[in-house]
Amino acid sequence: MEGTDNGTATAAAKRRASAADRGDKAARPRLDAEAADEPSPRKQAVLEAFGAYRDALDAHHDQRERVIKCSRDITALSKKMIFALLRITQEPLEKVFRDVQGKHKQALDLFRKMAADLQGSDAAKYNRQATPAIQEYIEAMGVWRFLEHNQLITKQQVEDSLDIGLPLPVTDEDYLLGISDLPGEVNRYCINAIGKGDHEAVRRCLEFMRHLKAGISVVLCACGAKGLLKKAEVLDSSLEKTEKAYYSMSPLRPLRAGGLRGYTSSGGRPKPDTLRMGQSDGGGKKGGGGGSGGWRNLFGFHPLAVLGAASLLASGYAMIYRPYKAWSDEQREKRSKQQQQAPKIKHTEEAIAKFPFAQKSVVFVLGGPGSGKGTNSARLVEDFGFVHLSAGDLLREEQKRPDSQYGKLIEHYIREGLIVPHEVTIGLLRNAMMDHPECDRFLIDGFPRNLVQAKAFEDTVCQAKKVLFFECPEETMLARLLDRGKTSGRSDDNVESIRKRFRTYANDTKPVIDAFAKEGKILTVSCQGSVDDVYAKTRAQVAELLGTIEKKAE
């Protein structure tokens, strides 16, 4: 009985232990879940690092996409600027420039957004995404510079045009690849000029592309960049097309160069012996009768081809030459009417040739906008008997002249703070000098503004004796111009135009001063001090100069 009770107790204990085990297994998933909600410190650190890396990747992706979007939009706007500029042969100049300036401002706004994502180390990180926009922009600005000044845009001028308030890297590689795309656009402009019969424009295109090819070739010899090498091949092709266009503008050039004798029916140059009409054929016959000799070699088939050629020439004369001659006469008459309005023929060519420009004493007066050129020049007139010619005043007078051919053009250049083409400015200055034949001393204020103007004036008018340079800090000039703008009524006396004039002065006029300084022609006057103090220094410099000139004359 007692043994039975012990066995029953043992079985009950086993059942209780089994039930406890089952309870533990049922509770285990709940305990594992609680353990997962509370990770270990090591696992927590890994999760935090992963989250930070994920956020960094998201930020990198967003920033990269922003740069790519701005780059695409800038590229599209730059292409539109180029297309607008190439319409310059078909639409009014003012309309074209107004359209281009609007697109340029939009491009600068996009550059400003993109530059915010390209600061510090990000400039190198996202350079590949920004490069297409920068290169296309350089190409557009290069076309603009070529059409306005017939010059190749420099890297410094590209950087100055990016007036966005933030530094934006323009690498040497971007600059070279950007300007190496110019030949294609210049070639398109050349084609448009051919359609207008503008032989001079085609010549300028050819000269520009030859100089560009020479420069690119030098760079290739130095570094041999792969991307530049590919574009150099396109440059060669564009240059070849431009050369062919230039040398074949006249439809009658082949005939004037020697008639049909210079060309075979296949379009190529024949061998010298095919040009002899009396050469023997395969059967030893002479002449061009019915044999296969000279006439056949010339025309390719049968002597009857002579009649066909004559008929072709007659129809060509009726279909090509007559319309061309009528169009040419119309263009010649149109140019004649334009020249009658131009300031440069106010005096006849004979009078210009006889005028003793070389005997005149010309002093250029240079300095930044608001440096006091006009004020001091007016006082020098009273003291020394100079005739004061202000290039700016002459341009504004020409702009207001009712029948002026250049009025709107001058207005555009002055408003944008740009340099008016030197042909217009020099024509006005030459006329003004000839209006004072009795005077031997001229103060020319605000001219030349660049090296091209300086050389053109010395080549067509006379050499300058000296250059009076007023050296003045930019802050002082800005304050003077803003104060003057309250009463002057001048369209260029506002902050935006003044800033543009300062940039133009720094880019274009400073090199003129440096060039004259090398020739020893600069008389520098510091503008620090009162108005009377500045003029006292100016007067002393000019008095010494005139004394030297008079001694040389004696």
**For the chain, what are the domain ranges?**
51-247, 292-341, 347-553
The third-level CATH classification (topology) of the domain covering 347-553 is Rossmann fold (3.40.50)
Place of tokens 């340029």: 104
Q: Which CATH class is domain 51-247?
A: mainly alpha
The Cα–Cα gap between 328 and 196 comes to 10
- CB of 417 closer than 8 Å to CB of 504: yes
**Residue 104: how many CB atoms within 10 A of its CB?**
19
What distance in Å separates the CA atoms of residue 263 and residue 260, rounded to the nearest whole number? Answer: 6
Check whether 396 is labelled as a binding-site residue. yes
Residue 199 clears pLDDT 50, i.e. is over it: yes
**Is 219 marked within a binding site?**
no
d(CA 75, CA 97) in angstroms, rounded, equals 19
Which three-class secondary structure state does DSSP give residue 121?
Answer: coil
pTM confidence score: 0.42
- Is 463 marked as a binding-site residue? no
Whether residue 306 is predicted with pLDDT greater than 80 in this model: the reply is no
Q: Is 534 annotated as a binding residue?
A: no
* 102 marked ligand binding residue: no
Residue 393 has pLDDT above 80, yes or no: yes
Q: Average of pLDDT values for 436-461?
A: 87
- pLDDT tier at 476 (50, 70, 90 boundaries)? confident
Has 156 been labeled as part of a binding site?
Answer: no
Say whether 131 counts as a known binding-site residue: no
Query: Would the annotation count 501 as a binding residue?
Result: yes
| 443 contacts 380 by C-beta, under 8 angstroms | yes
Of 265-274, 314-323, 382-391, 537-546, the range with the lowest mean pLDDT is 265-274
15 annotated binding-site participant: no
Tokens linked to 426: 């020099």
Residue 171 burial (CB count, 10 A): 14
Ligand-binding site membership of 87 (annotated): no
Identity of the amino acid at 551: K
447 is in an annotated binding site: yes
Order of strands across the sheet that contains 361-367: 387-390, 441-445, 361-367, 466-471, 522-526
